[in-house]
């Protein structure tokens, strides 16, 4: 099992450009999550999907959109990138029980110039 995979690993954008971060999991999990990690801020939830066909905002959703393409895949889109979106982005997945463990991907390091 590959677990949670993310592409690309690194990306540099110019302000105003758009891009989509891809995430896939092969653990048959129902829930998927997108986080960003910034120095001194900890991991913050951007969006999550409790099950296929549903998505909800997290703590910091502004400037992002998501798509739960199917049970395996959950993408994060930046429509018009801003320097404030420079960060490391992590995708995670888990079952949707009362408290389930979230398993993380390796991350995408994004720089917006």
Partner 1 sequence: EDQVTQSPEALRLQEGESSSLNCSYTVSGLRGLFWYRQDPGKGPEFLFTLYSAGEEKEKERLKATLTKKESFLHITAPKPEDSATYLCAVHPDRGGGNKLTFGTGTQLKVEL
By CB under 8 A, name the binding residues for partner 1.
Answer: 4, 31, 40-45, 48, 50, 56, 58-59, 90, 92, 94, 96, 98-107
* Residue 17: alpha-carbon gap to chain centroid: 18
Report in angstroms how near the CB of residue 62 gets to partner 1 at its nearest: 17
Assess contact for 10 and 108: CB atoms under 8 A: yes
Assess contact for 13 and 19: CB atoms under 8 A: yes
Helix (H) or strand (E) holding 33: strand 31-38
Nearer to partner 1, 6 or 85 (CB): 6
Nearer to partner 1, 64 or 90 (CB): 90
Nearer to partner 1, 57 or 77 (CB): 57
Report in angstroms how near the CB of residue 5 gets to partner 1 at its nearest: 11
Report in angstroms how near the CB of residue 113 gets to partner 1 at its nearest: 21
User: How far are the Cα atoms of 45, 89, 95, 113 from residue 64, in angstroms, in the given order?
Assistant: 12, 12, 24, 17
Nearer to partner 1, 85 or 107 (CB): 107
Token pair listed for 18: 């758009």
Report in angstroms how near the CB of residue 101 gets to partner 1 at its nearest: 5
Taking only Cα atoms into account, the Rg of the chain, rounded to an integer number of angstroms, comes to 13
């Amino acid at each position: 099992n590959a677990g949670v995979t993310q592409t690309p690993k690194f990306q540099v954008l110019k302000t105003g450009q758009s891009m989509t971060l891809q995430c896939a999991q092969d653990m048959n999990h129902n829930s998927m999550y997108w986080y960003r990690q910034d120095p001194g801020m900890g991991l913050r939830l951007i969006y999550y999907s409790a099950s296929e066909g549903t998505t909800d905002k997290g703590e910091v959703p502004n400037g992002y959109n998501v798509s739960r393409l199917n049970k395996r895949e959950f993408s994060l889109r930046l429509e018009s990138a801003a320097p404030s979106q420079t960060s490391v982005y992590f995708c995670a997945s888990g079952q949707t029980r009362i408290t389930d463990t979230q398993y993380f991907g390796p991350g995408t390091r994004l720089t917006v110039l």
